[in-house]
Amino acid sequence: MSKKGVLLVNLGTPDSPETKDVRKYLDQFLMDERVIDIPKLNRMLLVKGIIVPFRSPKTSKLYKEIWGENGSPLLYYSEIQAKLLQEKLGDDYHVELAMRYQSPSIENALANLKAGLVKSIKVIPLFPQYASASSGSVMQLVMELVSKWPTIPPISFVSSFHDNRQMIEIFAENAKKHQPENYDHVLFSFHGLPERQLLKCDHTGNYCLKNADCCQTYNDTNKFCYSAQGHHTASLIAAEMGIDKDKYTVCFQSRLGKEPWVQPYTTDVLKKLAAEGKKKLLVFSPAFVADCLETLYEITVEYHEEFKTLGGEHVQLVESLNDHPKFIEALAEMAVS
């Protein structure tokens, strides 16, 4: 009997923390037309001529700080998630893991599903909130690759799961380990995006960024907006934990370049809170389903040190979903729906 195929796809990671592998990863990542959405020639000059040569050695040092005995934390947890999902779904399903950039590749994962003669494929990009540069890029590549097959099985995609009940519960559970009542303020720090990418998702042309509160209420007009989905995720976690609106802030990290990105920037929020006398911050990063460079280093090390120089005392990361059993349940429900 034919099995149903499930393809999990996360962002990606260098094959090693060495500069040559980081360079290879950054080149593939940043040359994606959906990640840096400018004309190809301009993108090539920017990425290959400026960003990759200068950032690779610096980023290599950061990866070396988080690289463990199991290698890249992102790949390690992603592999566990795929393994546990396969066990959860059983023999009627064939689960494959891929990374949008580097290894294991989407092309090889799809080839494995094709060789397994699966009768359908469910693609689950492991990004809770939809963005053209993440989920959209995965969907586009899958469709491009499968379009070349002589026989194309039924294929479906999970666009986003920003309001998934199990995910909300896991983040709340993980936060409770740190006794949130002992913190002065809570941050929900999402990966940033250029404002122009948010504007492209506004099909009305007259809603996005027209006022400061356009993302804070999730509705039919902004339902595909990354920022609006992020605010919705944060509000659901806050409600689960009983955190009042004035006790938390949604912000955005990992800005690249000088053009406007979605705001407020996490670094600016740190300065503001320190100036208000806040000493201890609890930080969620709900754009990620597995701890990675952005959580284990950018938040845990960089933001912690920055906050201390500003007069604060401690920045505490709330662990990601990683190998939590409830997240495997959530993936299983997505796979069979």
In the numeric block, the tokens 């460079």 are attached to: 293
Q: How many residues would you count in the chain?
A: 337
Report the C-alpha gap between 223 and 201 in whole angstroms: 10
Plot region of 12 (φ>0 → left; ψ -120 to 50 → alpha; else → beta): left
CA atoms of 128 and 288, how far apart (whole Å)? 7
CA distance 321 to 35: 24
Q: What is the dihedral of CA 208, 212, 216, 220, to 10 degrees?
A: -30
Residue 294 annotated as lining a ligand binding site = yes
CA 89 vs. chain centroid, Å, equals 24
Looking only at the bridges linking them, the beta strands covering 248-253 and 280-284 are unpaired
Helix (H) or strand (E) holding 242: none
User: Is 324 known as a binding-site position?
Assistant: no
183-222: burial string, b at 16+ Cβ within 10 Å, e else = bbbbbbbbbbbbbebbeebbeeeebbbeeeebbbebeebb
Residue 302 DSSP class: I
The end-to-end CA distance of the chain, in Å, is 20
Give the strand pairing for 120-125 and 4-12: parallel
CA dihedral 243, 303, 288, 39 (to 10 degrees): 120
Q: Could you tell me the CA-to-CA distances from 181 to 184, 267, 321, 334 in Å, in that order?
A: 8, 23, 21, 33
Per the annotation, binding residues are 191, 294
Per the annotation, binding residues for Fe(2+) are 191, 294
